[in-house]
Structure 1
Amino acid sequence: MTDDEHSARGGEIGPAERLAMNRTGSFDWDLDTDTIDVDDAGLLVLGVAPDGFDGRPASLLRALEPAEQARLDRMVQDAISGGRSSYAAHIRLDPPGGPPQWTHVQARILRRADGAAHRVVGIVRDATTEVTNSEFILNLAKRQEVQTTIVQRTTYALSRAVTVDDVTAALTGPAGLGRLGSDGLALGLLESGSLNLIALSGEGLDVFGEFRTRPLERGLPLAEAVQSGVARFVSEFPSHVEEDFPALAPYLYRMPYRSACYLPLVAQARSLGGMALFYRRRSRFNPDERNLLLGLAAIVAQSLQRAILFDEERELATGLQATMLPRVIPRIEGSEIAVRYHAAWSGRQVGGDWYDVIPLPRGRVGVVVGDVQGHDTHAAAIMGQLRIALRAYAGEGHPPATVLARASRFLAELDTNRFATCTYAQVDLAGGTVRGVRAGHLGPLIRHTDGRVGRPKLRGGLPLGLATVFGEEEFPETRLDLVPGEILVLYTDGLVEQPGTDLEAGLAELVGAIGSGPPEAEALADHLSEQLWERWGAGDDVALLVLRRSPDPGTPRAPRIHQYIHQADPQGLSDARSAVGQTLVDWGMPELADDAELLTGELLVNVLLHTEGGAVLTLEVLPEPVRRVRLSVQDRSSGWPRRRTPGEAATSGRGLLMMDAIATRWGVEPRGEGKAVWCELEPAGPDNGKGRNGPNGDDDGGTGDNAGAQARGTAERAACQAEDWIEDED
């Protein structure tokens, strides 16, 4: 419409003009003739010149990409063939030399009475602004979602970081870089006027290895950001960095990054260091991205400040505790001793766990582990006093029960309202006797030479301090035996007890770790550290002491083995007999294996049936004057065996007869608080036709082969019955 026509109508604007002014047109598509009538406004929206339009639908779609044409055709055909009455779509136009444009098509399908479509009428309008704004909003929402995710994930990861090492672990590696939304990271801390790079993560950043410790001076982008306190954003990396820092030029082009930012780390007005983030894509860092990165720098700075403070407190606390523990563990002849201490991760809070090794007269050693109530510096101070007092009482030569009674009295007199638990043992390294006492503490564990781990029952009293308050300063002693090569393990409850877990499960895990570890004391302590590291330090301190009685293998010419058989172990007798037989085979004396097994069973059955404790079995070769084998069984009973005259139907009482029949020599001798019954066997040879010697070394005339066979059969039946009895009783 011309201006004159518009004036002639009095300035009124009709419906068509109003639609055209808003870039909206109409169309009428005759499906029977496949022709379409489009007004000038509609042709303008579709980018078709009115003079060149021939009325065919295909001519309208020339400005569409083939894929877009196919999509629109499918949608229209689906609407028509599907019986629908309308359809709507956004289509993209790509005019030559211009930006993409969007058109919205909304149409109604007219059908005859039989339902067949014959016309489609509708409108087309320019939706470029609408779609562009929608895309902008969607992209903005996506960016905001990404930024929120970055902040949430980074905050969550750093909230669990306790030490500086934890913070660097949370920021580095693929997971850490993914949380930050970057491809590379460099983290530096200020220490004594230098900027120390404590973390480098990302491809190619290892080239900065020689810059790990540099004086804080201008010349490096991260150092300048730290000095100025102003972040630096580099959208053209590395060219913009090379211009300002030519000294970095040899390194920059060896990295695959296209943009970077250098952020100062400041917390409570204190400059802690700086963080650099690198990106493979080019980024101009819009205001939202810059605010995000500055916020991330603040979060990292706060986490580092908290971690640095924790590390300082931790160093102070562990240093205090270290001064309370023995600085040097003495070397005790006849033993291997290893100790370990692990502190709980709780800042300045330290526990009162301790260990000590006390040399005693007459080849003995006192070992103790304990735990003072509480987790603070006061508990550590009390621990130091109590450890020194207990060491003094033990050094005076008092028995274990007296040592703990006096230690309890000492703690009560300190008037601290604290109590302590401990396990103390005096070990006679020459004889293997262990006298143990407990004061409300966990009992020890013993690893036997065959790898089995025992849990001896130590009678106990009340914790130190409480025992005196309640007037119950009774700490009953329990005697144990430690044969050469066996290991005594003392520990505090932090090793096996954790909140929410079963104590027995923790003990079973410790028993398994001890049994699977190496036999040497230091190696076993290291093994327990590795196996139980996650448990250690979680919420309580741990003190561990491992004492191994030195092995006694004899010599290559005169080998020797020792084995302890517990009275309550029904399998121990059978295992001991098998071990003796196999050992003699290994020593090249298989002809003695059967007799030795028989004698082993008889000697051990006597101990297990007629005494109140276990037995220590020793098998050795005596090379002089004639090569022979000696079996020795030591027990705690002072009663000596008596010769009896059993009846024909008796199943016991023939032990000494069997000894006379099979052994070359046998005897009984006192050992400490008990005795040892021994016997010797000699291989058959030209000089071995002598009679059997009794307990006094006199020739008792020996016995014939039939008597020996009868004795073997009787003894075997008695041993089997004894084993069955023991198993039933257990």
Structure 2
Amino acid sequence: MTDNREPGAERAHGGEIGPTERLAMNRTGSFDWDLDSGAIDVDVAGLLVFGQDPATFDTRPATLVERLDQAERERLEGVIKEALTSGRSSYAAHFRLERDDGSEQWTHVQARILRDRDGRAHRIVGIVRDATSEVTHSEFVMELERRRQRQTDMVERSTRAMSRAVTVDDVTAALTGPGGLSRLGADGLALGLVENGSLNIIALSGESLEMLDDLRVRRLESGLPLHETVLSGRPLFTSSFQELIKGYPLLAPFAGRLPFQAAAYLPLVAQARTLGGMVLFYRRRTVFSADERNLSLGLAAIVAQSLQRAILFDEERELATGLQATMLPRRIPRIEGGEIAVRYHSAWSGRQVGGDWYDVIPLPKGRVGIVVGDVQGHDTHAAAIMGQLRIALRAYAGEGHAPSTVLARASRFLAELDTERFATCTYAQVDLGTGTARAVRAGHLGPLIRHTDGRVGMPKLQGGLPLGIASVFEDEEYPETRLDLVPGETLVMCTDGLVEEPGTDIGQGVDALAEAIGAGPPGAEALADHLSQRFWERWGAGDDVALLVLRRSPDPGTTRAPRIHQYIHQADPEGLSEARAVVRRALRDWGMREHADDAELLTGELLGNVLLHTEGGAVLTLEVLPEPVRRVRLTVQDRSSAWPRRRTPGEAATSGRGLLLLDALSVRWGVEPRGEGKAVWCEIGPAGRP
């Protein structure tokens, strides 16, 4: 009778299965390793686990592990050595060895280390077993868990990316930008929206997908897989893209040109409305499991919900932007003697509508009114109030009222609108022929002036209460401040959204704006673009911004008779020295260095008289008179009607020598009335009349 038991299996008395046989049936054996002699005794079941023939095994440990590759053998030896040297009493390890049929077997060993009274290890006893089934099952479970975790991560990352998408452009950027395809676990993507009976592909991402540009806009009808998916509302999964092309002749031109093996065509449905469709392309996928199909549908649902929200936002923004456009001036009139540039930027948050505004108002006698203001709030109500207030202020200015009266009436108008909103603004009437500007301020930022040499000044405008509040408190006083723009100077007005950053002092923003104005290009349009790019992406995104740039046309004269102008503020301690330097530098550049010392000295004298004896600043003009007699002409204009008087100073006098210097250093000089003030001029150069 044949015994079918495995070698080493023994039956206990009475036919029952004994302990040794039970272990052998589970491919588990034991060993006893004598460390002193180096021999290892392994039972038959243990030898079979190691793939050794019991009849030829030579009790050497090296023979026992000869089926292990070098790396596995070194790893097992390291575990044993570490246990022996560390004083531990046991160790355990998993390792792999190759079976006779070439398959891989996972083996588990667990051993006890016996030590003498001195702690020296002299014997190791333990068990060894075939753990392939256990480890394989564990690997399967771990792989399943990894796959589920990967799917969970894809959903979470996609949800997080889509939650930040506000507009349709934001959604497409999240899908096609860095990390977009990896979040979806795909190698390519196409996204289409239903619009007016057509399916418009609004996003393509992935290798070679640009060849599908010819299919971007097509009527929504059968003939293409994505179109049919959108029409039916049912997804389509294909593991053979080439086979799919055969079923859709319109895709035949792309056969063999697209590097994708599989694709998932997914409808984008939100609240029972089909918005469009999405295709996910894969290079190596050969099958879609149930979990993978559900994952694809889940990702499509996330995209659909984000698109629905973005489409609604875009529609509301378009409506709000249209409303805002009707409230602001449709066009800016052309002006003589200068150039004006305006910019408006809505906050990135909300519906992109608010109460900031600008306006340019033609006035009698060639003057122009300019205003920048801000109605409290960021909503359609603020925009509506802004529109009414802008029209009212424009009407008051057009009637020819003084700036102080214009704001007083505008404040009364706003108070009578029966609204709790108030407004701030800065308004100026400018005569570009003379450069005179009369400015008033109602709780708003004052203007900045860029001088011809690039310096930026911040004139101190006296201010009144915000519009509306001033009338409630019966304080409608808006004192005027006179400003002077010489040819080539630029006046900049803006709302606080351009310079105010949450959590910081607004003064820092104003200083940064002044620095940017000084470093920017001279032209009004170019400077407005420069400031827009510099600040709207920095901190102007959280608030509306209105910006107005007015530049008085430069007056360079001609190459044969050049000319410069510069305004010197009375309160500017560096203005006088800077003016002297400008004069010296200009004459050097014009090839008239021999007159630089006299011109610089007279510049200091003429400007010093104005700054000491009048209550305002001065305009310095330096020019070269045309041939036949080329002379340097200096003119200093101020607002005082008091003319200089010739005096005879004593030896100890510290003043009164200015006219004496004019007589000594200039060929001729004089005084002329100019508007509200006067101009003192002198000519330096060769004698004789020009």
User: Aligning the two structures, in what range does the TM-score lie when normalised by the shorter sequence?
Assistant: over 0.9
Q: Deviations over 1:543-596 (max 9, x none)?
A: 111111111112233221110011111211111112112222222322222111
Opposite residue 375 of structure 1, the aligned amino acid is H
SS in 2 for 1:538: helix
**TM-score between both structures, scaled by the size of structure 1:** 0.89
- Compared with structure 1, are the counterparts of its residues 109 and 486 closer, same or farther at alpha carbon in structure 2 (3 Å cutoff)? same
The CA distance in 2 between the partners of 1:6 and 1:656, in whole Å, is 134
Aligned-CA RMSD value: 2.5
Matched, 1:563 2:566: yes
- Corresponding residue of 1:273: 276
- Corresponding residue of 1:161: 165
The CA distance in 1 between the partners of 2:417 and 2:616, in whole Å, is 40
- Corresponding residue of 2:663: 660
- Corresponding residue of 1:695: none
Matched, 1:490 2:478: no
CA-CA distance at 1:444 after TM superposition: 0.7
Q: Deviations over 1:176-216 (max 9, x none)?
A: 22333333222222212222222222222222222222222
SS in 2 for 1:544: strand
* 8 Å CA contact retained: 1:560, 1:618: yes
CA-CA distance at 1:109 after TM superposition: 3.5
The CA distance in 2 between the partners of 1:3 and 1:152, in whole Å, is 57
Q: Which moved more, 1:124-133 or 1:57-66?
A: 57-66
The CA distance in 2 between the partners of 1:558 and 1:80, in whole Å, is 101
Q: Which moved more, 1:242-251 or 1:563-572?
A: 242-251
Q: Which of 162, 171, 174 is the aligned partner of 2:175?
A: 171
- Corresponding residue of 2:324: 321
Q: Deviations over 1:592-646 (max 9, x none)?
A: 2211111111110100000011100011222266332221100011111111111
- Corresponding residue of 2:596: 593
The CA distance in 1 between the partners of 2:496 and 2:386, in whole Å, is 16
- Corresponding residue of 1:436: 439
Q: Deviations over 1:496-543 (max 9, x none)?
A: 123223211111121111111111111111111111121465222111
- Corresponding residue of 1:15: 19
Please list, as runs of the form range in 1=range in 2, the aligned pairs for 1:184-195 lying within 5 A after superposition.
184-195=188-199
SS in 2 for 1:545: strand
SS in 2 for 1:87: strand
The number of aligned residues is 686
- Compared with structure 1, are the counterparts of its residues 66 and 583 closer, same or farther at alpha carbon in structure 2 (3 Å cutoff)? closer
The CA distance in 2 between the partners of 1:77 and 1:435, in whole Å, is 93
The CA distance in 2 between the partners of 1:406 and 1:337, in whole Å, is 26
Q: Which of 330, 341, 345 is the aligned partner of 1:342?
A: 345
* 8 Å CA contact retained: 2:622, 2:633: yes
- Corresponding residue of 1:399: 402
The CA distance in 2 between the partners of 1:282 and 1:23, in whole Å, is 38
Matched, 1:42 2:59: no
Q: Which of 503, 510, 514 is the aligned partner of 1:511?
A: 514
SS in 2 for 1:490: strand
* 8 Å CA contact retained: 1:369, 1:490: yes
SS in 2 for 1:301: helix
- Compared with structure 1, are the counterparts of its residues 508 and 107 closer, same or farther at alpha carbon in structure 2 (3 Å cutoff)? same
- Compared with structure 1, are the counterparts of its residues 6 and 614 closer, same or farther at alpha carbon in structure 2 (3 Å cutoff)? closer
Matched, 1:627 2:651: no
The CA distance in 1 between the partners of 2:119 and 2:156, in whole Å, is 57
* 8 Å CA contact retained: 2:498, 2:536: no
Opposite residue 142 of structure 1, the aligned amino acid is R
Q: Deviations over 1:191-247 (max 9, x none)?
A: 1222222222222222222222222233333333322222333334x3343343354
The CA distance in 2 between the partners of 1:412 and 1:327, in whole Å, is 27
* 8 Å CA contact retained: 1:189, 1:273: yes
CA-CA distance at 1:145 after TM superposition: 2.5
Q: Deviations over 1:71-98 (max 9, x none)?
A: 3344345545665443322222322436
Matched, 1:204 2:208: yes
The CA distance in 1 between the partners of 2:564 and 2:497, in whole Å, is 36
Gaps of 5+ in 2: none
Percent identity between the aligned chains? 75
- Compared with structure 1, are the counterparts of its residues 426 and 272 closer, same or farther at alpha carbon in structure 2 (3 Å cutoff)? same
The CA distance in 2 between the partners of 1:399 and 1:280, in whole Å, is 74
* 8 Å CA contact retained: 1:592, 1:683: no
Opposite residue 157 of structure 2, the aligned amino acid is R
- Corresponding residue of 2:480: 477
CA-CA distance at 1:124 after TM superposition: 1.7
- Corresponding residue of 1:451: 454
The CA distance in 2 between the partners of 1:395 and 1:189, in whole Å, is 50
Q: Which of 131, 141, 161 is the aligned partner of 1:127?
A: 131
- Corresponding residue of 2:305: 302
The CA distance in 2 between the partners of 1:588 and 1:68, in whole Å, is 89
Gaps of 5+ in 1: 691-730
Q: Deviations over 1:257-303 (max 9, x none)?
A: 34332222211111122222233433523333332222222111111
The CA distance in 1 between the partners of 2:498 and 2:578, in whole Å, is 31
SS in 2 for 1:407: helix
SS in 1 for 2:404: helix
* 8 Å CA contact retained: 1:233, 1:262: yes
- Corresponding residue of 1:427: 430
- Corresponding residue of 1:138: 142
* 8 Å CA contact retained: 1:618, 1:633: yes
CA-CA distance at 1:68 after TM superposition: 2.6
Q: Which moved more, 1:264-273 or 1:70-79?
A: 70-79
The CA distance in 1 between the partners of 2:685 and 2:62, in whole Å, is 116
The CA distance in 2 between the partners of 1:562 and 1:56, in whole Å, is 105
- Compared with structure 1, are the counterparts of its residues 595 and 77 closer, same or farther at alpha carbon in structure 2 (3 Å cutoff)? closer
SS in 1 for 2:106: strand
The CA distance in 2 between the partners of 1:427 and 1:533, in whole Å, is 28
* 8 Å CA contact retained: 2:561, 2:623: yes
The CA distance in 2 between the partners of 1:72 and 1:387, in whole Å, is 86
The CA distance in 1 between the partners of 2:617 and 2:74, in whole Å, is 93
Q: Which moved more, 1:300-309 or 1:585-594?
A: 585-594
Q: Which of 69, 81, 85 is the aligned partner of 2:73?
A: 69
- Compared with structure 1, are the counterparts of its residues 76 and 587 closer, same or farther at alpha carbon in structure 2 (3 Å cutoff)? closer
SS in 1 for 2:365: coil
CA-CA distance at 1:321 after TM superposition: 0.8
The CA distance in 2 between the partners of 1:82 and 1:352, in whole Å, is 77
Q: Which moved more, 1:421-430 or 1:77-86?
A: 77-86
The CA distance in 2 between the partners of 1:292 and 1:363, in whole Å, is 70
Q: Which of 406, 412, 417 is the aligned partner of 2:420?
A: 417
- Corresponding residue of 2:543: 540
Q: Which moved more, 1:283-292 or 1:640-649?
A: 283-292
Opposite residue 669 of structure 1, the aligned amino acid is E
Opposite residue 17 of structure 1, the aligned amino acid is E
The CA distance in 1 between the partners of 2:174 and 2:251, in whole Å, is 28
SS in 1 for 2:542: coil
The CA distance in 2 between the partners of 1:59 and 1:595, in whole Å, is 109
CA-CA distance at 1:141 after TM superposition: 2.5
SS in 2 for 1:108: strand
CA-CA distance at 1:322 after TM superposition: 0.3
**TM-score between both structures, scaled by the size of structure 2:** 0.94
The CA distance in 2 between the partners of 1:589 and 1:58, in whole Å, is 102
Q: Which moved more, 1:69-78 or 1:135-144?
A: 69-78
SS in 2 for 1:369: strand
SS in 2 for 1:473: coil
- Corresponding residue of 1:615: 618
Matched, 1:230 2:234: yes
Matched, 1:531 2:534: yes
